[in-house]
Chains A and B, each alone.
Chain A
Amino acid sequence: MTRILISILTAIAAFLLFAQEEKRPVKSVYSIGLGYEKAYDDYLSPVSFDGASLSVRGRWLKAMPANPRRLLMQFDAAITSGFLKSEAGVPMYDLGLQWSWGMKWRGNAGPVQIAGGGRLGLEAGALYATRNGNNPVDARASAGLSLDASAAWPVRVKGLPLLISNEVSLPTLSAFFSQQYGQSYYEIYLGDRSNLVHAGWWGNHFGISNLLACDLDFGGTALRIGYRFEVGSRWANHINSQRTYHLVEIGIIPGGIGLRKKDPKIINPFYEP
């Protein structure tokens, strides 16, 4: 019995010592996305609008103490905007805010790191049709659970370490806002707030976000170049609202991604061999 107790205590002491030696810094990615957006929202207009899209995003990653090499926590935040026009030149604007918190588990299949997880997210935003009178805006707001999956593959091109990754996020269950088919926001302001919140699933609140990225590790910092494809749609109370984005993303990762110079005491949330 004493031997078992000593063994356990020794194991705990070793674990704590090891845990103290390992560093789990918060790593971040800051990026700007520029590209194209197409929007259709029949509460505002029976025609579709498209134009330029601009977004600013931040991601913060940290290995978790329970299993630092496998378990990661991440926060994401984004501001998105769209400057759209109909084919005939009628303007429309899109503004959105996104925030999410999630956990993911990662493992390796040869050199490829595969990860999967889930996250809780909040989104708010609006499409604004400047020429509309009593229906100038279609607001969106939701809280939901998304499933994430990603794969990352480190390669070297002319001595420069790169991490090529693809990440897909698929919202699943949610609660989201939608006014009634012909309801004005004035009526909501007056107090008619019945049936505004809906339970969402893929059939009425579908979305997907896919980021194909290449991180160029220069050591002290890394440069991210990526392509993001994103869809957000809502179908409730006979209102059909859809947005599609194609964005080129350029970002920086302060501190690099640990491919050029690996410190064994630092748990790298981007890639661990």
Chain B
Amino acid sequence: MIPRNLLPLLAVLLCLPLTGCHGYEEYEADAFGTFDCIWQTVDDHYCFFEEKDVDWNEVRTRYRARIIPGITQQELFDLCAEMLAELKDGHVNLAWPFDVSYYRAWWTDYPQDFNLRTVQQYYLDFDYNTTTGLIYKTLPQNIGYLYYPSFDRKVGEGNLDYVLSVLSTCDALIIDIRDNSGGELTNIRTFLSRFIHETTIGGYMRHKTGPGHNEFSDPYPVKYEPAGENHVVWDKPIAVLTNRSCYSAANDFVAVMKELDNVKIIGARTGGGGGMPFTYALPIGWTLRFSTCPMADVTGRSIESGIDPSPGCEVHAPDEELAQGKDAILDFAISMFAGQ
């Protein structure tokens, strides 16, 4: 027999393992289950509700009421995509085998300010070098030109050593990242390491610490290391050419470069994309991607809405001029260095 006064203690001990069982919601793969799963996942993890002043509860009420009996998958996908577009965030995608939703207004509502063909034809004379996606050439004004189309393309240390060696006799360097919509953050580190000479804080990163809209960690400094003595580095003047289609990792790159003394940002305000996105599989088989970790520049300002050009360096390249072979942004950079 167990003494009566020990029974409560025994009951507590037997119940202790049950405290380890944390339930979770099993969403159905139907219209309401899919909708609720999308809404709740975004509600728990999205990082820019306050910055974008989005009333997510109101959005739920408005869109959930539009789910009707017999709604098709295509209609549901379109409805959810429309709801997600309320976030006005280019890092938000809903994907299924036949489509990927994408908020495009961050660049479609702005001039393009770039035409690669114009640069290739009228400035590089179709005579340039390429390696791992980089296009580079010494311009007649003895200015190096380097086009980096995407941070998805990994550039090797050896490639960078070679390119910068070839351009090392130039008086200045133009890094053109127009239309670069981002890619791997680690590629920024490789590229950037050639333009800094000491450990440099390039910005700050935070993450959600809980499902509340304002539950964030303290900003953590994102430090970049120089390439070191065994690699070719650049310490002469640099111009970084930007347009509205510079997004995500390209936006991060501009935020760091803008703080360097020998760098001017020339062109248009970048598109933003200052939130590292996470991806989640949904019950219906679709995948949901959205910003979860907000990034800030070295001053602590959010870079989600883009980076302005350096003072006095906002330039636009109208389509009609580009069609005629004139790139006003590139011309501005060349003139600036030629006049120095």
Contact = CB atoms under 8 A, between A and B. Distances in A.
Interface of B: 16-17, 19-22, 24-27, 29, 37, 40-41, 45, 47, 185, 205, 207-211, 215, 217, 220, 222-223, 276-285, 287, 289, 292-293
Q: How large is the interface on A (under 10, 10 to 19, 20 to 34, 35 or more residues)?
A: 35 or more
A76 B223 CA distance: 42
B50 to A, nearest CB: 15
A229 to B, nearest CB: 14
7 contacts: A46-B25, A47-B26, A88-B281, A90-B285, A133-B278, A184-B276, A187-B220
Interface stretch (A2-10, A61-69, A234-242): A234-242
B24 A183 contact: no
Nearest to B286: A88
Contacts of A192: 205, 217, 220
Majority secondary structure of chain A interface residues (helix, strand, loop or mixed) = loop
Contact of A233 (B20, B45, B208): B20
A132 interface: yes
Given A190-B220, A206-B17, A181 B211 contact: yes
Nearest to A186: B185
Nearest to A130: B281
A172 B97 CA distance: 45
Name the residue among B41, B220, B222 with the largest chain A CB count within 10 angstroms.
Answer: B220
A203 B222 CA distance: 35
Interface in A109-155: 129, 131-135
Contacts of A204: 20
A129 B209 contact: no
B130 to A, nearest CB: 27
Given A46-B282, A181-B207, 6 more contacts: A42-B24, A135-B279, A181-B215, A182-B45, A187-B293, A207-B20
Question: Which of B29, B277, B279, B282 has the most chain A CB within a 10 Å cutoff?
Answer: B279
B182 to A, nearest CB: 11
A159 to B, nearest CB: 41
Contact of A47 (B37, B185, B279, B289): B37
Contacts of A180: 207-209, 217
B25 to A, nearest CB: 8
Given A42-B24, A47-B283, A88-B285, A182 B208 contact: yes
A181 B45 CA distance: 9
Nearest to A189: B186
